[in-house]
Structure 1
Amino acid sequence: MVLKRNPPTIRLAILEADTPIGRTKEKYGGYGALFAELLAKGCEEVARQDGVPGPELEITKYDVVNHPAVYPALEEVDGVLITGSKHNSFDSTPWIRTLVAFTQRVLAQHRVRIIGVCFGHQILGRAMEVEVARSEAGWEVAVVPVELTEVGRRVLGVERLAIHQMHRDIVYAYPVSVEPLGSSDRCSVQGMYSKGRLISVQGHPEFNEEIVEELLVNRHEQGIFPDGVYEDGMRRVGERHDGVVVAAAFVRFLVE
């Protein structure tokens, strides 16, 4: 899709479902700022490809873990993005149940669009009543190749995707109302799409080598990652990844 000459301002609410650690927290404060930086690059990429200015993003951030009673009013936003998280998307923790209910409210209307990343992707799956649980294949970490469907290639604009991963939970099936975007060896539901309604990815377009290396080291030291997972991730953490490609797809989705 080619953007209009004077694209509108998009009011985007970022629902922060976790807090960064260490150097990442020092640099960004929260995941909302990390996504704001990524989406700015996505707008630049869209403008570069189309030869016209990308949309202006007016971003607000909501800490849905520590302030679960504070959510955006749907009439005041055009889009919602749910971030990743160390928490389990299938838990019955009150704030997670509230997040699922809010996601269902967004999906029940037809103006505000929703983006899900990793945990957010899984919350979308749960909100649409498909199974979300631990993967029998175990952890998927660092840069992973994703085989795209025909829809995935069209939406993302590439033949194959490389994206950072950091998850052990997966969406087990595609809801009937969405189109599959792609799959990997350890996760058959790597992305979901419904035009004008939702887009999601299991991977982390907002992550880079420095962020993922910090997570790998931290979780290895805590005993969360066994040696094999840690060493395999460290071998691939510096590989090329398509975070900006996904960001551009998010931007296009918000204005299509």
Structure 2
Amino acid sequence: MMRIGLLETGAPPESLQPAFGRYGGMFQTLLGGDHQYTVYDVQAGQLPGAPGEQDAYLITGSSAGVYDDLAWIAPLMDFLRAAKGQAALVGVCFGHQVMAQAFGGQVVKSDKGWGVGLHRYEVARPQAWTDAPSVAIPASHQDQVVVLPPATTVIGGSPFTPYGLLSYDDAPAISMQFHPEFDPAYAAALIEARRGSRYSDEQADAALATLQAPNDRLRVGGWIRSFLRQASGDQA
């Protein structure tokens, strides 16, 4: 049984939490019950006391930007730098971005605008933990990694998000811009909650239409589990 720390850097809109829960719970459902989970409310200042508290850490999505002047972001980056090589790391959306920024890359608010709905990502460099040439996964982001950190491999991406799936060459660490934890019902509810504020009606309708297609979120959940098994073996 692996000890996994869920670094919760954001939360769903309060109106959606009764139906869908929080992001830590979504990842526990995705990754399965054969692990021991601890959730850290990073925005409230909760971080592990030392990297060795857990075997692995997963950094969730957030509505914040890594460049925002928020008191919890710099301590999170410090922790990630300390944990790199000491525990396996998995970053998702904001987690993908904050890992890149902490490890020497750059993240910006992209002039491409919002990426939302079901996006397809090509796997350009297959790994032992991947098992498909491409995956279609819900996305919800405006920020993007635009400069890679040192010692990274671009595993996959899309025309909209070229650096969509990264692996770090010098530590057991991977990150992804898309959201395998979003089931279609939650992805649709989130779009509706942001209709008229973050997205126009036209953008919302187009994104909702894409969510009717089959998606590979459970496959990518399997990728994360496979990566964590391999990382655990490497560290043993």
Normalised to the residue count of structure 1, the TM-score between the two structures is 0.84
Larger RCO, structure (CA 8 Å, separation 6 or more): 1
TM-aligned CA deviation for residue 194 of structure 1: 2.9
**1:93 and 2:86 equivalent?**
no
**1:38 and 2:30 equivalent?**
yes
- What amino acid maps onto 1:59 in structure 2? Y
- What amino acid maps onto 2:225 in structure 1? V
Q: Which of these residues, 41, 63, 75, is aligned with residue 63 of structure 1?
A: 41
SS of match in other structure, 1:156: coil
TM-aligned CA deviation for residue 58 of structure 1: 0.5
Give the match for residue 112 of structure 2: 137
Runs (4+) off by over 6 Å: none
Give the match for residue 233 of structure 2: none
Give the match for residue 4 of structure 1: none
TM-aligned CA deviation for residue 63 of structure 1: 0.5
Q: Which of these residues, 140, 143, 151, is aligned with residue 166 of structure 1?
A: 140
Give the match for residue 172 of structure 2: 197
Asked if the contact 2:51–2:82 (Cα under 8 Å) also holds between the matched residues in 1, the reply is: no
SS of match in other structure, 1:94: coil
- Root-mean-square deviation (Å): 1.7
Offset from partner CA, 1:1-49 (integer Å, 9 cap, x none) = xxxxxxxx11000011111225641134321111000001xx8xxxxxx
**1:244 and 2:222 equivalent?**
no
Matches within 5 A, 1:1-256: 9-21=1-13, 24-40=16-32, 56-66=34-44, 68-107=45-84, 110-151=85-126, 154-194=128-168, 197-221=172-196, 223-256=197-230
Normalised to the residue count of structure 2, the TM-score between the two structures is 0.91
Unaligned ranges ≥5, structure 1: 1-8, 44-55
Offset from partner CA, 1:48-70 (integer Å, 9 cap, x none) = xxxxxxxx31110010012x144
Asked if the contact 1:17–1:83 (Cα under 8 Å) also holds between the matched residues in 2, the reply is: yes
Q: Distance in 1 between matches of 2:161 and 2:74?
A: 24
Offset from partner CA, 1:212-250 (integer Å, 9 cap, x none) = 1111111114x2112232121011122211111111111
Percent identity among equivalent residues?
Answer: 28
Unaligned ranges ≥5, structure 2: 231-236
Q: Tell me the number of residue pairs that the alignment of Structure 1 and Structure 2 aligns.
A: 229
Asked if the contact 2:116–2:207 (Cα under 8 Å) also holds between the matched residues in 1, the reply is: yes
